[in-house]
Amino acid sequence: METLSTLIGIAITYAIVNNVVLSQFLGICPFLGVSKKTETAAGMGGAVIFVITIASFITGVIYKYILANEALLNMGIDLTYLKTIVFILVIAALVQFVEMFLKKSIPALYKSLGVYLPLITTNCAVLGVALNAITYEYNLLETVVYGLATAVGFFIAIVLMAGIREKIEYNDIPKPFQGTAIVLVTAALMSIAFMGFSGM
């Protein structure tokens, strides 16, 4: 029962309260770049959910059973310093898989995502989740829930931003605030709004 409450706590914390984009400021590039249309933002959010969830599981397994293997550590072989390089390789391979799948199955979404799809490889949110799970000393199940919750938080943030940006297009915005300026102001206001959940 305690495990279930812990998992629910992790899920709520990282999906809403400690949102990866609006609280930790990770994954800002795709958040600002792909949030012009709701459909494209939802597609990017879905791709990120898949990549982060699978990456958190695979990197958790690799770290626990290979890099931080107790038998190797007892023999004096410490491979934990390789975690960043190994995690980047895993993430890059997963993104290639997603890219091939979308290109074959959903070509319209593949074209609309454009250059931002390969940028998931360099999305610091994906690598940040893998590295933070080690820092927080989560077990494998907690790592996967943490990854999924963080990815859902990214999805929520990017879809909300896309919805707001679609509405902003029809508003009369003063010239100095047009373009990127109003997007950054909107992101700042969203971040402040999400701070309201910190009391939960």
Per-residue model confidence (pLDDT) at position 2: 56
How much is the pLDDT for 10? 92
Model confidence pLDDT, tens digit, residues 100-130: 888 898 888 888 777 777 777 777 889 999 9
Structure tokens at 122: 């360099």
Residue 178: predicted pLDDT: 84
Which residues of the chain are under the pLDDT cut of 70? 1-2, 199-200
Q: What is the pLDDT of residue 199?
A: 67
Q: Cα–Cα distances in Å, from 14 out to 20, 50, 62, 72? A: 7, 16, 23, 33
